[in-house]
Amino acid sequence: MNPLHLLTRYFRASLSAQAQYPGTTVLMTVGAFAVNFIEIFGIAALFSRFGQVRGWSFGEVALFYGLVSISFGISDFLSRGFDVLGTEFIRTGNFDRVLLRPRSLALQLIGYDFRLRTMGRVLQGLLIVAIATQTLHFHWTLAAVGLAAWTVAGGVALFFGLLVLQGTLSFWTVEGLEVANVLTYGGVQAAQFPLSLYAPWFRGFLTFVVPLACVAYFPVVALLGRHDPLGAPDWFLPLSPIFGVIFLAVSFWAWGFGVRRYTSTGS
Amino acid sequence: MNALRPYLATFSARFQLMLQYRAAALAGFATQCWWGGIKVMIYAAFFGAAGAAAHAPISLSQTITYTWLAQGFLSLNPWTGDPDVAAKVRTGAVGYDRLRPVDAYGWWYVNAAAWMTARAAPRSAMMFALTGIIFPIVGLGAWAWAPPAGVAAALLFSLSMILVVLLSSAIVMLINICVAATLTDRGVNNLVAPVAILLTGNLIPLPLFPDWARTALFIQPFAGVVDIPFRIYFGQLTGTMALAGVGLQVFWILVLGGLGRLWLGRVMDRLQVQGG
């Protein structure tokens, strides 16, 4: 059975499991949508009171927010196995069985659970992008769609990488690590506003340590056809999502190191 | 006094139990610092726009204090029902609670209050130590949790914070009852959380919403959980308005508490107990 076929199998199994509880699935999706969508009321209220923020308008900020939401939603859909690695696999000893199967670890963990409720966040992101398009009278050329897709791809890779790192840490901590939520959920929170609003040390962190700016701020500045007020060169802006992919590669390198160091809890 | 003893006992037992979760408290504190830090930088950017500050009913330093208070006391927010009640409903242990010779509403109510205060106590203390004491010392005074506006404000704030616990517990009780009636906590928790985040002032301070919404936002029950006490703290709500705010808290405690009692009675009369 080739990997793609296996993944479809996993996907169908997840889907039919969730179809057993249609009410719950729908409510969770609506909840995921609503709890993220209300953020836009806060952003809109701030803009209606203050007009603009350091030269950025409501529509532009909505575009930052919408795209990063879509990235995170898709990544959340794919990465559940890594998210619960500590509690569901390592602490219980189930990881031993995963290791014994003649298929790649990543494939099995991605296939562990595709949660439909994460689509609530993707839908919310799409709606915010629609609001941004409306407000900015943004014209989606083919190049713009391509750049947006590339931005989202980089974002998915980055958030996925963060979850892989969280999973890697649980080889040592055994339990899950809530603090990692700071970088995933908190990362979305940080990336929804333009980088230029933040203090220099925080910009540095978001660019060089966890390159969230490379999958949100820089490419969206290019998408908006602006020059970066912080002085990043124009040619760099559309290329920056590559750092999301590089981050994912580094995360998997760390992951490999963690797997080699893994000792079973023996239960 | 004897009649109150079981309630005080369960309060203190639950309080001490919740205090044991030190790792959770540290993780929560780290998350709240991150969130608060981002919010504070964003507000500074918005307020920084030339002349814009004149249009805002609260100043930047008040907004910053509001943000740290909101993050520190985040666990007092009625976002979800009490997870213990949800677990009891799921496993059928709710049956044991029915056998206790205590008032069903009062029993769950004090549990909800203990659950929230025990989580808020360490987090708010750490938040105050960092943003209220360390920030001014290391020269970040402009970003600090400022002291209260005066002695009167501090006293009224203390009273108002007690009312916060009572009001929030009353709202959590309504969620609990909904959980008991529907046998699951998933539905109601998902629907209440966004409403509570928006209307308490946790998303952005309520005074920063458009002026036409001001009265409506002031009189709705969620304002009494975050917005009213914090504005009393930094002296933006003074005199009659401050008393009106505290009065509204008391009003909503009585209304929502009374409503919860009536509703719980009806739900308990036809309660389904799961398990076997």
Across the interface, do A28 and B186 touch by the CB < 8 Å criterion?
A: yes
Across the interface, do A24 and B42 touch by the CB < 8 Å criterion?
A: no
Q: Is B22 on the interface with A (CB under 8 A)?
A: no
pLDDT at A176 (0 to 100): 60
Substitution target in B42, B58, B63, B140 with the highest count of A β-carbons within 10 Å is: B42
Measured between beta carbons, which residues in chain B are less than 8 angstroms from residue A50? 46-47, 49, 52, 55-56
Q: Which of B203, B232, B269 is nearest to B43 (CA)?
A: B203
Measured between beta carbons, which residues in chain A are less than 8 angstroms from residue B30? 179, 182
Cα dihedral sign, A47-A51-A54-A56: positive
Q: Would you list the domain boundaries of chain A?
A: 3-261
Report how far residue A94's alpha carbon sits from residue A84's, in angstroms, rounded to the nearest whole number.
12
Look up residue B44 and give its DSSP letter. H
Residue A239 binned pLDDT confidence (cut-offs 50, 70, 90):
very high
Exposure string of B241-250, with b = 16+ CB inside 10 Å and e = fewer, is ebeebbebbe
B186 → closest Cβ in A24, A177, A193? A24
Query: For chain A, what's the residue count?
Result: 267
SS3 per residue for chain A: CCHHHHHHHHHHHHHHHHHCCHHHHHHHHHHHHHHHHCHHHHHHHHHHHHCCECCECHHHHHHHHHHHHHHHHHHHHHCHHHHCHHHHHHCCCHHHHHHHCCCCHHHHHHCCCCCCCHHHHHHHHHHHHHHHHHHHCCCCCHHHHHHHHHHHHHHHHHHHHHHHHHHHHHHHHCCCCHHHHHHHHHHHHHHCCCHHHCCHHHHHHHHHHCCHHHHCHHHHHHHCCCCCCCCCCCCHHHHCCHHHHHHHHHHHHHHHHHHHHCCCCCC
Q: Is A45 on the interface with B (CB under 8 A)?
A: yes
pLDDT at B276 (0 to 100): 56
Residue B234 φ then ψ, to 5° = -95, 15
Please state the pTM of the whole predicted model. 0.91
Q: Where are the alpha helices (DSSP H) in chain B?
A: 5-19, 22-48, 60-72, 83-91, 94-99, 104-127, 135-137, 151-182, 186-200, 214-219, 227-233, 239-269
Size of interface A-B (CB pairs under 8 A): 99
CA atoms lying within 13 Å on the CB side of residue A219: 29
pLDDT at A122 (0 to 100): 94
Q: Which of A144, A76, A185, A70 is nearest to B35 (CA)?
A: A185
Distances B167 to A27, B189, B250 between C-alpha atoms, Å:
27, 18, 8
What are the residues whose beta carbons fall under 8 Å from the beta carbon of B194, sequence distance 6 or more? A31, A34, A35, A37, A38
Across the interface, do A202 and B31 touch by the CB < 8 Å criterion?
A: no
Least confident window among A63-77, A120-134, A168-182: A168-182
Query: Is residue A76 scored above 80 in pLDDT?
Result: yes
pLDDT at A266 (0 to 100): 66
Instruction: Output the CA angle A151-A207-A149, nearest 5 degrees.
Output: 0
pLDDT at B183 (0 to 100): 82
For the packed helices B104-127 and B151-182, what is the interaxial angle rounded to 10 degrees? 130
Across the interface, do B41 and A52 touch by the CB < 8 Å criterion?
A: no
pLDDT digits (tens, 9 = 90+) for A141-191: 999 999 999 999 999 999 999 999 988 988 887 766 667 778 888 888 898
Tens digits of pLDDT across chain B (276 residues): 688 899 999 999 999 998 888 888 888 899 899 999 999 999 999 998 655 566 788 999 999 999 999 999 999 999 999 999 999 988 888 888 888 888 989 999 999 999 999 999 999 999 999 999 999 999 898 899 999 999 999 999 999 999 999 999 999 999 999 999 888 887 788 889 999 999 999 999 999 999 999 999 999 999 999 999 999 999 999 999 999 999 999 999 999 999 999 999 999 888 878 775
Q: Is A37 on the interface with B (CB under 8 A)?
A: yes
Query: Is residue A8 scored above 60 in pLDDT?
Result: yes
pLDDT at B216 (0 to 100): 95
Substitution target in A46, A48, A203 with the highest count of B β-carbons within 10 Å is: A46
**Taking CA atoms, what residue in B is nearest to A34?**
B194
Instruction: Output the CA angle A208-A209-A210, nearest 5 degrees.
Output: 105
**Nearest 10 degrees: Cα torsion A69, A70, A75, A78:** 130
Q: Is A44 on the interface with B (CB under 8 A)?
A: no
Report how far residue B259's alpha carbon sits from residue A246's, in angstroms, rounded to the nearest whole number.
56
CA atoms lying within 13 Å on the CB side of residue A31: 20
**Taking CA atoms, what residue in B is nearest to A22?**
B187
- Chain B nearest-CA distance from A238, in A, is 25
- Based on the number of CB atoms within 10 Å of its own CB, is B2 exposed (0-12), middle (13-18) or buried (19 or more)? exposed
Residue A117 binned pLDDT confidence (cut-offs 50, 70, 90):
confident
Percent of chain A residues topping a pLDDT of 90: 57
B31 → closest Cβ in A32, A50, A186? A186
Substitution target in A21, A24, A197, A230 with the highest count of B β-carbons within 10 Å is: A197
Distances B266 to B95, B169, B255, B261 between C-alpha atoms, Å:
16, 19, 17, 9
